[in-house]
Structure 1
Amino acid sequence: MGEIFLAQDILLGGVPIAIKLISHGVTDSKQHQEFADEARICATLSQRSIHIVKVTDYGVSDTGEAFYVMEYLEGKTLGDLIPLPVDRFIKITRQICLGLQCAHEGINIDGRNYPLVHRDIKPENILVTSDLILGELVKILDFGVAKLLNLSSAISKNNSNHSNNSFQGTLPYCSPEQLEGGEIDRRSDIYSLGVVMYEMLTGKKPWQPETDYFGAWYKSHRFEMPRPILSANPNLEIPQILQDLIMACLLKNPCDRPQNIAEVIKVIESIKTQHLEARFTAFKSIVIPPTTDSVSNSSLSLSVEKACWGLTWSKDKPIQEIVFPQLVTTGNETVAALSLMMSKQEIQKRGLIVRHNQFIFIGKPYPMLLWVTLLYSRVHVVSPKENRVVSPRENSNKKWLPCYLDMQNQHHLDIVRSLSENDIYPLIFFSLQPPHTCINVLESRIDSRQQQKLKFWLQQINLLPTASSLRMDLSKKLLHEHYQKMRSHKTACL
């Protein structure tokens, strides 16, 4: 019904905005009223929920074309991101539900509340943007075919046609009752949400009709059972309660589905709690895994290892106990590495050590990544006073190696890209005493889940606007606070 343009708000200093202009071919007065209703609905709902696109103005151009003004959002549609891992699925789904819940609670017209049904919930109408607090912020778009319930029983001053039950929506995501043009309510949106959740996890739709015509989709939605989730993606590992929730949303009879979004949110919250507890339990079990790794059985390629041993301490770095990231290049490959300087005695004590790493990213006010490597000695120490062996847990011989990476710096981006592609990086030890040569090379492994995070963050960088370097110190301060909390938590675990 409209075209969307990028524009600038001159009164506010040229900040970017989005303007939706009604299409030239739309001349019907009812469609013009629907366009105005869409603006009013979004403007009202966005005041109550951050998960609905914000509308700030409405008007008519000099040529008589209606338009409304929206916030400009940088991000990707949900359709560009699926399939999703379970933890990201939970975060995004919860936000979608909160936005839908706000819509279903309705808007006030002339002192009376009217619940709303979106009628076109699909991945293309859900935008995912970067956010400093939430990490990812979800926005529901396009209320152009939304329906205000119970409006037909009231006196409508604007003669809106929202009481019309004819089919409107997108075929793969429509409920059976919506396709039939019957009475619909918020449970129709819950059905559409079920299709979206199924697709978010599997990358596929619950049905595979023979054609994309109305009849084929109607047959699927009305008569065919959706494929089991694990048959669509056998490699998925998701809790049974989540599978049951999605299948319940896809039931043919609205009375058999969750009756409101609050029921869906309750299940999502319980899954989130269980998932976090499971991840924390797994994390605690792998923080300090036993290891007997040494240089002789390193999994680094021989060419990389030789290149590391042949390095000299960088002339632009001070002679002191510091750590810095760099790229080590051989004829065949380039890998990220950590170079660190210690006394010979300190390096010699770290023959058999556990290496643990973690990455923390912040996109605003300035994009930065904190790369932390923890060295933890497994050497048992004899306590002379108590005549006993001190266990590694009691041994405080830990070395924290934090590195702050500027994600607008190409060299640092190349380092992060290498870490996302290689599950091992070398630790290159240089002697604090002259001649400051390399006297040890060890390896540190990166968990595959962390590599997935690095790849995602690299994608997010392309979506973020260029930030002023003046904001770098603030981002570094925020990361440092995270780092201190992480140190306290890890120390307690160790």
Structure 2
Amino acid sequence: MSDPSRDTNIGQVLMNRYQLTELIGKGSMGRVYRAEDILLGGVPVAVKFLSQTLLNDRMKTRFAQEARAGALLGQKSMHVVRVLDYGMNNEEIPFYVMEFLQGENLSDLLLEEPLPLSRFLRIARHICLGLQVAHEGIVIEGQKCPIIHRDIKPSNVLVIQDNTLGELAKVLDFGIAKFLGDVPEKGQTSSFMGTLAYCSPEQIEGRELDHRSDIYSLGITMYELLTGKMPIQAETHSIGSWFKAHHFQKPVPFSVASPELRLPPALEELIMACMAKSPADRPQSMAEIIQVLTALEEQFGSGRVTQPGIDPIGTMTSQLPAHPSQPPVA
């Protein structure tokens, strides 16, 4: 973490409202600060700035899209981190304001141990509910625009403890999301965006994607959550090695990866189907996956299951959970 005395942003007040108090995360796409909403009496929020190295028109447009996606999807589902505001600071650097959530991302949870079945089923269903609203799309200039996340992985899912609803999983970081219906970005079909270990075969080729690419990444994520291991391995961490792995390597069977693990056959079949090399061989929608997970949760889960697709949002702009903050960083 940076020394606050050297960070000139600390103490800055944005839009006469959001006072930056602490740098809490940084990545290649930008920095995230904890801030206080002075207008609302000091309610904590998180503020993400676009990196100064990315201040070109294309990245500013993408950053604005990321903010719009978070705002609109966050209104539709409690399982997407909600964006509350957007603006520019005095140096014309764009930022957006998010709900401040204390919790752990799934990568941190996996450092302790794989998830037990009942907890896995609940968290996996929450991820699917968040992705379902993204795939259904948001309305931009009167047109429905489906969104492909393109970077589903454990570190992009935050788990929080809500006083009323219990444990909730929220999808983070739509920083490289694809808005279907957009005019293609110049050179986009020849470039790779995403995380090599989790991307679909078609994604690593740089092809145009649909929602089934996220389903592949979800399959790898679900496998890892249950076993603590990756279903496929590349010889080296290069695009060429991962290209071969995603295209030609079969996922390691659950019985080999974790011989002691006893999963319902329907769950094994679902996850293996999500990781099919061809999009046509995967489940064709999040609704299909939610249906299977809900049925399994009713049988093996430890608590009440809401009906699939019913996702009450309420007013959840603040949470009071139990773990150190881990906000999204691109």
Deviations 1:82-138 (A, max 9, x none): 210000000100000000000000010111101110000011110000012332111
- Corresponding residue number in structure 2 for 1:437: none
Deviations 1:367-394 (A, max 9, x none): 9xxxxxxxxxxxxxxxxxxxxxxxxxxx
Gaps of 5+ in 2: 1-28, 304-319, 326-330
Normalising by the residue count of structure 2, what TM-score does the alignment of the two structures yield?
0.81
Query: Structure 2: how far apart are the matches of 1:66 and 1:72?
Result: 18
- Corresponding residue number in structure 1 for 2:143: 112
The answer to whether 1:176 aligns with 2:201 is: yes
Matches within 5 A, 1:89-100: 89-100=120-131
Amino acid corresponding to residue 134 of structure 1 in structure 2: L
- Corresponding residue number in structure 1 for 2:176: 145
* Structure 1 residue matching 2:233: 3-state secondary structure: coil
Deviations 1:316-350 (A, max 9, x none): xxxxxxxxxxxxxxxxxxxxxxxxxxxxxxxxxxx
The answer to whether 1:242 aligns with 2:273 is: no
- Corresponding residue number in structure 2 for 1:32: 60
Q: CA deviation at 1:272?
A: 1.2
Cα pair 1:84 1:200 within 8 Å, conserved = yes
- Corresponding residue number in structure 1 for 2:225: 200
Q: CA deviation at 1:150?
A: 2.2
The answer to whether 1:164 aligns with 2:188 is: yes
Query: Structure 2: how far apart are the matches of 1:5 and 1:162?
Result: 32
Bigger shift: 204-213 or 260-269? 204-213
Q: Alignment length, in residue pairs?
A: 277
- Corresponding residue number in structure 1 for 2:90: 62
Decide whether aligned partners of structure 1 residues 235 and 162 sit closer, same or farther in structure 2, where only a CA change above 3 A counts.
farther
Query: Structure 2: how far apart are the matches of 1:27 and 1:210?
Result: 36
* Aligned with 2:211 (options 173, 182, 186): 186
Query: Structure 2: how far apart are the matches of 1:12 and 1:194?
Result: 41
Q: CA deviation at 1:207?
A: 1.1
- Corresponding residue number in structure 2 for 1:81: 109
Gaps of 5+ in 1: 153-159, 280-366, 368-459, 465-494
Normalising by the residue count of structure 1, what TM-score does the alignment of the two structures yield?
0.54
Amino acid corresponding to residue 137 of structure 1 in structure 2: L
Identity of aligned residues (%): 52
Amino acid corresponding to residue 76 of structure 2 in structure 1: R
- Corresponding residue number in structure 2 for 1:156: none
Q: CA deviation at 1:462?
A: 4.9
Cα pair 2:103 2:322 within 8 Å, conserved = no
Q: CA deviation at 1:198?
A: 0.2
Query: Structure 1: how far apart are the matches of 2:119 and 2:74?
Result: 24
Q: CA deviation at 1:195?
A: 0.3
Report the structure number with the largest CA radius of gyration.
1
- Please list every run of at least 4 consecutive aligned residues from structure 1 whose deviation after the TM superposition is greater than 6 angstroms: none
Amino acid corresponding to residue 174 of structure 1 in structure 2: C
Amino acid corresponding to residue 142 of structure 1 in structure 2: D
Decide whether aligned partners of structure 1 residues 204 and 100 sit closer, same or farther in structure 2, where only a CA change above 3 A counts.
same
Query: Structure 2: how far apart are the matches of 1:212 and 1:29?
Result: 31
Cα pair 2:223 2:271 within 8 Å, conserved = yes
Query: Structure 2: how far apart are the matches of 1:34 and 1:162?
Result: 13
Amino acid corresponding to residue 289 of structure 2 in structure 1: V
| Structure 1 or 2: more strand by fraction | 1
Cα pair 1:75 1:128 within 8 Å, conserved = yes
* Aligned with 1:222 (options 247, 253, 256): 247
Which protein, 1 or 2, shows the higher relative CO under an 8 Å CA cutoff with sep ≥ 6?
2
